[in-house]
Amino acid sequence: MPNPLSRRLRRRWLPQALALLLVVTQIQAAEQAAAPPPAPVAVPQAPLSPPASAQAQPLAPLPVEQSLKIRVLAGNGEMNDLGRRVMAPLVVQVVDQDERAMVGAEVVFRFPINGPSATFAGGRTSATVRTNGGGQAAAVNWMANGQVGSFEVHVNASYGNQVGETTVSMSNVTRVTEERKKSKGESLWSHGWFKIAVIGGAAVAIGLGVYFGTRGGSSSSGSTVTVIPGSPNVGAP
C-alpha cells in the first residue's frame, strides 16, 4: 500500500516544482527573444569578368611615314679647322611634304664612331635637338677629333609617325686656308681676304675720282673715273 507520507510530499512539492520549471522555461524563452539574430555568413563570390567585347583593346600604332624632308642649311662640304679648333656650322631645316616648317620636330645628329669624326660634350657621338619656330635645328657644343679626313654626319628627324633622314658631308683639315690653296681650279675671288682687298681698292678709286673731279683750277681736265662693280676674274682660266 502507498505510504501516506509520500502522498503528502507529492501533493506539497509537486506544484512548486512545476511552477519553478515554468519560470525557468519562460526565462530561457525571454533570453532567446532578446538575443540578436545571428549574422548571415557571407559567401565570397568571384568577380564577374566583363564580356570579351567590352574589354579595352590596345590601339594599333600608326604606320611610319617617310614624309619629312631635311634641308641642310649649313655644314655640307664644309671643313673643320683642327689647328685653330674652329668648327663649321651644322644647321638643318625640317619641312613636311607641303614644304611647311615642322616646329618641335626631334632631330638627331650622329657622328661616325671610328675614323675622322667629331664628338659632342661628354664624348657622345650623337645629340638630339628640337626644331624652333622656323623648323630649324643646329648642332652645338661639338668638336672634331684629331683625325684628318672626310666623314658624314647622319641626321634623322621625327614628328609623330613622320620621319626623315639625310647625311651631311664634312671634313677635318689641319688648316682651312692651306687646304683651300691646294684646291684646283679655284679663283682668288673665293678667298675672303681677296674680296676685302678688291672692295677696299674700289672704294679708294671712287674717293680719288670724286676728289679730282671736284677740284677747281686750269689743271683740271674734267675727266671722270668710273668703277664698274662685279666679281673680278683673277686667276680664272
- pLDDT tens-digit map of 182-232: 544 444 334 443 333 333 444 434 344 434 444 444 433 333 333 334 444
Q: Set out the domains of the chain in order of their start, with CATH numbers.
A: 69-175 (2.60.40.1930)
3-class SS of residue 201 = helix
Mean pLDDT of 156-176: 94
Q: Among residues 91, 103, 54, 234, which one has the least CA distance to residue 168?
A: 91
**CB-CB contact of 131 with 84 (8 Å):** no
Q: Identify the residue whose cell numbers are 631645316.
A: 93
Chain segment 57-91, per-residue pLDDT in tens: 676 677 878 889 999 999 999 999 999 999 999 99
**CB-CB contact of 153 with 75 (8 Å):** yes
Q: What is the mean pLDDT of the chain?
A: 74
In angstroms, the CA 81 to CA 144 distance is 9
Predicted structure pTM score: 0.52
In angstroms, the CA 209 to CA 81 distance is 42
In angstroms, the CA 99 to CA 83 distance is 39
Chain segment 36-52, per-residue pLDDT in tens: 666 666 666 666 666 66
pLDDT for res 130:
97
The values of phi and psi at residue 122, to 5°, are: 85, 10
pLDDT for res 38:
66
Higher pLDDT, residue 211 or 156: 156
Would you say residue 30 has pLDDT above 90?
A: no
Chain segment 117-135, per-residue pLDDT in tens: 999 999 999 999 999 999 9
Distances 25 to 19, 21, 32, 123 between C-alpha atoms, Å? 10, 6, 11, 97
In angstroms, the CA 116 to CA 151 distance is 6
